Amino acid sequence: MKTVDLYKGGRVFFYCPPDKRPVEMVVLMREPADGPLCVARVWDHNKGEIVDGLYWLYLIKHGAHLGPFFADIHLAFKAMRKIVRHFGSQIFDQPLEWIRRQASMAEWIGKNIGWPQDLLGGEWRKDTDKSEDL
């Protein structure tokens, strides 16, 4: 998918979920103001809606998320700043395919921030929809 530029003064970007239909997302936190990462809410691909109370770090230029889920927006903000300080802003200007191939970057984020399946600042809720009889 082609990169979609920011508009509305950098307050909105497009997230590109697996089904390839871009979703307009509101930037909740970003530092510096022109930084490559931001904090925004999580998009539920299956339901096609925003999940309240969960946050992801997004690569604004590419419309992709990285790192774990966050239940606390301030933890997400701190993690975003830590990633940008460690890697620098320029590395996120590379093509998305290149960024995804950087195993050492993924390893560092996993060890120092959290793995993609992790939830920081909360606990995963047990699935109550499943039947006990199965």
Phi/psi of residue 21, nearest 5 degrees: -95, 105
Paired tokens of 5: 């530029």
**pLDDT 10s digit of each residue in the chain, 134 long?**
333 444 455 678 888 777 667 888 889 998 888 889 999 999 888 888 899 999 999 998 888 899 999 999 999 999 999 999 999 999 999 999 999 999 999 999 999 999 999 999 988 877 655 444 43
Q: How far apart are CA 104 and CA 14, in angstroms?
A: 27
Cβ atoms of residues 130 and 123 within 8 Å = no
pTM of the predicted protein model: 0.82
Q: For residue 8, what is the DSSP state?
A: G
Segments making up each domain of the chain, as ranges = 8-116
Which pLDDT belongs to residue 34? 84
Which pLDDT belongs to residue 9? 55
